[in-house]
Chain A
Amino acid sequence: MSGPIGKPTPYIDGVQKVTGKAMYTDDYRFPNMLYVGLLRSPHAHAHIKHIDTSAAETYPGVAAVTVGTDLPISFGILPISSDENAMAVEKVRYVGEIVAAVAAETMEAAQKGAEKIIVEYDPVRAFIDPGDSLEVCDPAEQIHSHTKGGKNIHKTAELRFNEPEKALEQSPFKRTESFKFAGVTHAFTEPHSTIAIWNGDETLTVISATQVPHYLHRNLSKVLELPMHRVQVKKPALGGGFGGKSDPFAHEMITAYLSMITKRPVKCTFSREEVFINNHGRHPTTIDMSVGCDQDGIITALDTDTIIDGGAYGSFGVVTSYYNGVLLQGPYKIDKLGFRTRRAYTNKSQCGAMRGHGAVNPRYAMEVILDMLAHDAGIDPCDLREKNFLEENTVTVGQLRITSNGVRDCLQAVREKSDWDKLYGKQPYGRGLGIGCGFYISGSALPIIWNRYPQTVVHAKLDFDGRIVMFSGASDIGQGSDTMLAQIASEELGVPMNYVQLEVADTKTTPVDLGSYSSRVTFMVGNAAKMAAEKLRNEMAKAIAKEKDVSADDIVFRDNKIFTEDGAVDISWEDGVETALAGRGAIVESGYYFSPKMGGDFKGSGAGLSPAYSFGAFISDVTVNPSTGSVKVEKIWAAHDCGKALNPLAVEGQIEGSIHMGLGQAVSEDMRYVNGQIVNANFFDYRIPYSVDTPDMDVTIIESNDSEGPYGAKEAGEGPIHPVLPSIGNAIYDAVGIRMMELPITPDKVLAKIQEKG
Chain B
Amino acid sequence: MGHYFRPTTIKEALSLASDWPGNYKYFGGGTDLQIYRKQKLLNNEAIIDLSELDDTCSIKADENSMKLGAFVTLDEITTSSDIQTHFPLLAEAAASVATPVIRKTATMGGNLLVNNRCTLYNQSKEWRDAVGSCLREVGNICLVTGGKDKCFSRNVSDTAPALIALNAVVIIHSQDGKKEIPLQDIYARDGIKFHDHLDEDAIVSEIRVPTKPASWWFKKLRLRKTLDFTSLTVAATVDSAGIARVCLNGVSMSPVLIEESLKKLTVETVIKKARKNCKTVDNDLMPLKYRREMINVYLNEWWKSK
Which A-chain residue is minimally distant from B296 (CB atoms)? A627
A668 at the interface (CB under 8 A from B): yes
A628 at the interface (CB under 8 A from B): yes
B119 at the interface (CB under 8 A from A): yes
Known: A628-B294, A690-B226. 14 other contacts (CB 8 A): A40-B126, A42-B130, A627-B301, A628-B297, A674-B120, A677-B130, A679-B119, A683-B227, A690-B99, A690-B224, A692-B225, A747-B290, A748-B286, A748-B290
Q: B225 to A684, Cβ gap below 8 A? A: no
Q: How far is the CA of A668 from the CA of B225 in the complex (A)?
A: 12
Known: A747-B290, A748-B286. A687 touches B119 (CB 8 A): no
**Which residues of chain A are near B301, meaning CB under 8 Å?**
627
Q: A43 to B130, Cβ gap below 8 A? A: yes
**Which residues of chain A are near B226, meaning CB under 8 Å?**
690-693
Q: B131 to A684, Cβ gap below 8 A? A: no
Q: How far is the CA of A667 from the CA of B224 in the complex (A)?
A: 10
**Which residues of chain B are near A692, meaning CB under 8 Å?**
224-226
Known: A42-B129, A95-B130, A674-B131. A690 touches B289 (CB 8 A): no
Q: A748 to B126, Cβ gap below 8 A? A: no
**Which residues of chain B are near A747, meaning CB under 8 Å?**
223, 286, 290
Which residues 251-298 of A have a CB within 8 angstroms of B? 271, 273
The interface bits of chain A over 645-685 (1 if a CB of B lies within 8 angstroms of the residue's CB, else 0) are: 00000000000000000000001100010110101110111
A751 at the interface (CB under 8 A from B): yes
**Which residues of chain A are near B221, meaning CB under 8 Å?**
628
Known: A43-B130, A684-B228, A748-B290. A273 touches B124 (CB 8 A): yes
Which residues 274-306 of B have a CB within 8 angstroms of A? 285-287, 289-290, 293-294, 297, 301
Which residues 288-331 of A have a CB within 8 angstroms of B? none
B5 at the interface (CB under 8 A from A): no
Q: List 16 A-B contacts (CB under 8 A).
A: A42-B130, A95-B130, A273-B124, A628-B297, A674-B119, A674-B120, A679-B119, A684-B227, A684-B228, A685-B285, A687-B285, A690-B99, A690-B227, A692-B225, A748-B286, A751-B290
Report the minimum CB–CB distance from A125 to chain B (whole Å): 17
A572 at the interface (CB under 8 A from B): no
Q: A751 to B293, Cβ gap below 8 A? A: yes
Q: B285 to A680, Cβ gap below 8 A? A: yes
Partner of A689, one of B129, B224, B285: B224
Interface of A (DSSP majority class): loop
Report the minimum CB–CB distance from B256 to chain A (whole Å): 20
**Which residues of chain B are near A629, meaning CB under 8 Å?**
290
Report the minimum CB–CB distance from B285 to chain A (whole Å): 6
Known: A684-B229, A687-B228, A690-B226. A42 touches B294 (CB 8 A): no
Report the minimum CB–CB distance from A92 to chain B (whole Å): 11
A538 at the interface (CB under 8 A from B): no
Q: A693 to B225, Cβ gap below 8 A? A: yes
Known: A43-B130, A675-B131, A679-B119. A748 touches B287 (CB 8 A): yes
**Which residues of chain B are near A40, meaning CB under 8 Å?**
126
B127 at the interface (CB under 8 A from A): yes
Q: How far is the CA of A306 from the CA of B177 in the complex (A)?
A: 68
Known: A675-B131, A680-B285. A687 touches B120 (CB 8 A): no
Which B-chain residue is minimally distant from A688 (CB atoms)? B224
Report the minimum CB–CB distance from A409 to chain B (whole Å): 35
Q: A273 to B127, Cβ gap below 8 A? A: yes
**Which residues of chain B are near A677, meaning CB under 8 Å?**
127, 130-131
**Which residues of chain B are near A693, meaning CB under 8 Å?**
224-226
Q: How far is the CA of A273 from the CA of B228 in the complex (A)?
A: 18
**Which residues of chain A are near B285, meaning CB under 8 Å?**
672, 680, 685, 687
Which A-chain residue is minimally distant from B285 (CB atoms)? A685
Known: A679-B119, A693-B224. A748 touches B289 (CB 8 A): yes
Q: A746 to B294, Cβ gap below 8 A? A: no
The interface bits of chain B over 100-140 (1 if a CB of A lies within 8 angstroms of the residue's CB, else 0) are: 00000000000000000001100110110111000000000
